[in-house]
Structure 1
Amino acid sequence: MRDARSYAYEGPPEIRARVRPGLDGGVPIGSAADACRWLEGRDRDERDEPFTYVVDLGGTLLLAPRRSEHVACAGGAPVLAAGEITFDGGAAVVAVTNQSTGYRPDPSCWPAVAAALDRAGLRRPGGFTDAFAFRRCAECGQLNLVKDAFPGCAVCDADLPDPPGEGGPDA
């Protein structure tokens, strides 16, 4: 993971301020058995939803309940990847995304996710089941999650910058 890009938290400072380093953090998943034990500890309704995940700088998958903030799951630290993950009830991942507005991971973080899942012995898809792009509006400064290839700001409707490598600056 030495060459992997890391992502610092860029979300609201008041959310980061609530994180208690050393006390908050997701559950490290080092094996399929770890994942199964953690899933068994969730209530039935919760198991049907995606969970919050991050891949820490050491390449370990950390899990937390869905409504947890990614920065809390990471204990406030930078990550290699972050998003939402859904299991089949056991040791198979059926959906995984890079949807984290706090860390804004690029879809190119998939190799870090794949490596963490492989290391834990979890069956997985061949890539993100849904990959998202994040762009900051140059007009109003709002962070936008780009969905359905809509290139406009959700707040002021201004055009969003092109992604890196496609003729525009990285926002």
Structure 2
Amino acid sequence: MSVQGRGYRYVGPAGLKAAVRPGSGGCRIDSAADFGSWVAERSAAELVEPFTFVVGMDGVLRLAPRRSEHVACAGGEMVLSAGEISFVREAGRWAVADVSNHSTGYCPDVSSWSAVAHALDGIGLERPSGFTHEVVFRRCPGCQEHNIVREGDFVCVFCGNDVPETWNVDPVG
């Protein structure tokens, strides 16, 4: 699966990335069969809550329990997108109910939706036309803190400086 898009490095607490062990990571979902097997192993209680997801640099969706860290789900690697996702069974088929880019470890831009859409289309899951909840992340040029922009107010909640309207969370990316 070949996907293009911005790669996002982990920008969260270093200790969380240091705890990731080689070979760990979320469950790879390469196909409809993979998803079918994965969802069959989930309990009804698990399926009520959203799951942590990442789309790896290979374009493959990886899923983990909601309270998992995105960096652990990604095996410590860069991603094309990250967030939370929930599923619903409609007319005998599974579909995406809600999906967001809410990952404070990777802070992906809303433009990362294309990678998510491509991964979901590749496994045949019906999906919305975009993130059902978009999170706008920005890094403050003054204090360097990561912010979630709310209600279009591009002001740092930590120091009051303006934050840019374009994505700038990873100074290297």
TM bucket normalised to smaller: 0.7 to 0.9
Provide the rounded CA distance (Å) in 1 between the counterparts of 2:15 and 2:112: 26
- Alignment match, 1:160: 163
Is the 1:52–1:85 contact (alpha carbons within 8 Å) kept by the matching residues of 2?
A: yes
CA contact (8 A) 1:31 1:122 kept: no
How far 1:159 sits from its partner (Å)? Answer: 2.5
Whether the aligned pair in 1 keeps the contact of 2:3 and 2:115 (CA below 8 Å) is no
1:136 aligned residue: 139
Match for residue 115 of structure 1? 118
Map 1:76-155 to 2 at 5 A. 76-89=76-89, 91-155=94-158
Calculate the aligned-residue CA RMSD, in Å: 1.8
Q: Shift of the alpha carbon at 1:2? A: 5.2
Gaps of 5+ in 1: 165-169
In structure 1, what is the equivalent of residue 71 of structure 2?
Answer: 71
Asked if 1:21 corresponds to 2:51, the answer is no
Residues 52 and 73 of structure 1 are in contact (CA less than 8 Å); yes or no, is this contact kept in structure 2?
yes
Counterpart code for 2:152 = A
Residue of structure 1 in register with 2:52 after alignment: 52
Q: What is the CA-CA distance between 1:126 and the residue it aligns to?
A: 1.1
The Cα shift of 1:130 comes to 1.5
The answer as to whether partners of 2:86 and 2:96 remain within 8 angstroms in 1 is: yes
Distance 1:32 1:159 in 2: 44
Partner SS for 2:118: helix
> Any idea what SS the aligned residue of 2:94 has?
coil
4+ residue segments displaced more than 4 Å: none
CA distance in 1, matches of 2:45, 2:149: 29
Rounded to whole Å, the distance in 2 between the matches of 1:109 and 1:18 is 26
Percent identical residues: 52
Q: Deviation at 1:161?
A: 2.4
Question: What TM-score, normalized to structure 2?
Answer: 0.86
User: Does the Cα contact within 8 Å between 1:35 and 1:91 map onto a contact in 2?
Assistant: no
Tell me if structure 1 keeps the 8 A contact 2:57–2:80: yes
TM-score between both structures, scaled by the size of structure 1: 0.87
Name the count of aligned residue pairs.
Answer: 165
**Letter paired with 1:5:** R
Partners of 1:3 and 1:54 lie apart in 2 by: 15
Q: Report the AA paired with residue 33 of structure 2.
A: A
